[in-house]
Structure 1
Amino acid sequence: MRRITLWLLSTVAVLVLLFSYKTSTMGPGGESSAVATGSDGSAGNSWTGTDAGSTGSGPVSGSSSGDGTATGSVAQTRWGPVQVQITVSGGRITDVRAVRVPDGNRRDQEINDYAVPILRQEALAAQSAQIDTVSGATVTSDGYRESLQSAIDAAHLK
């Protein structure tokens, strides 16, 4: 009888500790970062550059082989916002830069310091948003892919 009581109390104590453990899902204080919005209040993407056969800036229809930059929309993830900007030259992605990544705590920064360069290289190699997820940075990888695809769409690349 004494063993059963001791085992039951130990099990209850472990379960209480397990369920009371809080993980960091937001930045300090539990707030999320502000979202970049367009003039109409919506978070969107943008293209700045020239398109083949035209000059100026702004979105164009059809396929683009121009030079410029495209900023993807802000992908809201459970750890914070992710936003990517691409540089296009000759119809190819020549650079990818993470404009925003989750940075609410030191662990977020460690993960992104590791994952973002890998995601950048994957995007440059693939020339698309069809890139592998970085192990340990699944949420950031998903947000990165979403914003990258938005930037590619804004630049009218295939």
Structure 2
Amino acid sequence: MRRAVVTSAATAAGVVLLLSLKPHEAAGPAPVIGSGPGTGAGQGTAAGSGTDSGTGAEVSAPSNAPAPSASAPASTSAPAPAPAAGATRKVSGDTVNTRYGPVQVQVTLAGSRITAVDVVKYPSAERRDREINTSALPVLNQEAIAAQSARIDVVSGATYTSDGYVRSLQSALDRAKG
């Protein structure tokens, strides 16, 4: 009986401490475009099992994600001339091979601001891949646009796809900078 009382009291104290924590504020504004190679990869948190399944295939984005543009090049070998302020341009990221298939994104920029992210390739060979990515990719797109960088959290249950997404997004942002 005494053990139950002590355990309950400790749990209550832990909950009170947890609820009293305030989120810390960043020291300064996040950079609009990533700050270097590899920035953002692995910086998120995953609370789920972190599993994707199946093999990869190149397909269009899921039905509830924005459709990719067919007119943009798959990759750029040389940096394009700097666009005029406010000009819209699309930059493709590297194709990142993950455990379950390739992931590639294309970022749309207005000046240096991210306005859209289209997923060009993602794992979709298996039914479970399609389930996972139908819900995970729109979340990743929203996170990237909100963060204005590749420093985003991974989506629980889509850890490998999230990692590939972040790495491809960072390579696109690096290309846009260079």
Q: Tell me which of 67, 81, 96 is aligned to 2:88.
A: 67
Q: How many residues are treated as equivalent by the alignment?
A: 112
Are 2:54 and 2:124, in contact at CA under 8 Å, matched by a contact in 1?
A: no
> Structure 1 residues 24, 123: closer, same or farther in 2, change over 3 A?
closer
- Alignment-derived partner of residue 138 in structure 2: 117
Query: What is the CA-CA distance between 1:104 and the residue it aligns to?
Result: 1.2
Query: What is the CA-CA distance between 1:24 and the residue it aligns to?
Result: 8.5
Structure 1's unaligned 5+ residue stretches are 1-22, 35-43, 54-63
Structure 2's unaligned 5+ residue stretches are 1-50, 59-73
Give, as a single letter, the amino acid of the residue that structure 1 aligns with 2:82. D
Give, as a single letter, the amino acid of the residue that structure 2 aligns with 1:69. K
Higher helix proportion, which one? 1
Q: RCO greater where, 1 or 2, for CA within 8 Å and sep 6 or more?
A: 2
- Aligned alpha-carbon RMSD (Å): 2.8
SS of the aligned residue for 1:107 comes to: helix
> Structure 1 residues 138, 101: closer, same or farther in 2, change over 3 A?
same
Give, as a single letter, the amino acid of the residue that structure 1 aligns with 2:106. Q
- Alignment-derived partner of residue 4 in structure 2: none
Larger Rg: 1
> Structure 1 residues 135, 24: closer, same or farther in 2, change over 3 A?
closer
Distance 1:110 1:25 in 2: 10
Q: What is the identity percentage for the equivalent residue pairs of Structure 1 and Structure 2? A: 48
Q: Tell me which of 104, 108, 119 is aligned to 1:87.
A: 108
Give, as a single letter, the amino acid of the residue that structure 1 aligns with 2:172. A
Q: Is 2:99 aligned against 1:78? A: yes
Q: Tell me which of 123, 126, 131 is aligned to 2:152.
A: 131
